[in-house]
Amino acid sequence: MNTANLLLKERHALIRQRLLADGRVLALDLAQQLNVSEDTIRRDLRDLAAAGLCTRVYGGALPPSPAAAPLAERRMQAPFRKARLAQAAVTLVSAGDVLFIDAGSTNLAIAEALPRLPLTVATNAAAVALALLERPEIALIMVGGRVDARSGANLGAAALRDAERMRPDIFFLGACGIDAEAGLSCFNYEEAEFKRSLAAASKAVLVAATREKFGTAAPFAVLPAAHLTHLVLEHDADSKQAAQFDRQGVQLLYAAAA
């Protein structure tokens, strides 16, 4: 193929093929391979990102996160796999802990899997609060704010003020995109700010992730990968990505196989 004369649609198709094959693309590499300027590739990546076909990150792009669907829809996806992740995640919980459980379908599974221990659990997610409402051994705290329908999270200034008063032992953070280089990301600016504030105040920050989220990104950065303390993975998660997290000092836990 004569890459010097590729049309716009041909470039976009080729970039998408590279993204699918390699899991990421770099603007400099694409510019050299396609014999065009880096500015041209950056415009291409902006166009593809605007169409929801990739997420731009520093130097290139990643596949878009699969977590864009509303919470009600995501709760129906891979429930048994999320339950196994939850069982691995709650092994870190001890009696007397103060936990913050973020919104998200996997975090809802974590709430449902909590051991029968005296705990304090705070959340900004109505679904999580409802799951724990009839657990008398749990002191439940609900963070208020504007309800974001997609994520099922309470957000905004009121939620942020509540979060700033907390010092959780474990923050179960819900991430939409997870990548060892690009870090953790989500779809909402306010949500990213809320998660960063809680992560900074927590003794431990844990993310439990299905394998589809690995190597993907959403538009708003939350944390660098190295700021995680624990990452809970499926037994068959991408070993290359897992090793990159491990090298950054993140403790890896694996869910049991089916």
Please compute the mean of the pLDDT values over residues 173-192 and round it to a whole number: 91
Higher pLDDT, 21 or 142: 142
The SS3 of residue 163 is helix
Q: Among 94-98, 111-115, 163-167, where is mean pLDDT lowest? A: 163-167
The dihedral region occupied by 208, where left means phi > 0, alpha psi between -120 and 50, and beta the remainder, is beta
Q: Which helix (H) or strand (E) holds 80?
A: helix 79-89
Query: Residue 73 has what pLDDT?
Result: 65
pLDDT in the model for residue 3? 46
Nearest Cα neighbor of 169 from 196, 145, 198 is 198
pLDDT tens digits for range 226-237: 999 999 999 998
Output the pLDDT for position 151.
Answer: 81
Q: What pLDDT is stored for residue 11 in this prediction?
A: 84
Our measurement of the distance from residue 180's CA atom to the centroid of its chain's CA atoms, rounded to an integer in Å, reads: 12
Mean pLDDT of the chain: 88
Burial 67-81 (b: 16+ CB within 10 A, else e): beeebeebbeebeeb
What is the mean pLDDT of the segment spanning 74-102? 91
Residue 1: pLDDT band with limits 50, 70, 90: very low
Confidence band (pLDDT; 50, 70, 90) for 44? confident
* pLDDT number for residue 55: 79
Q: What percent of the chain has pLDDT over 70?
A: 93
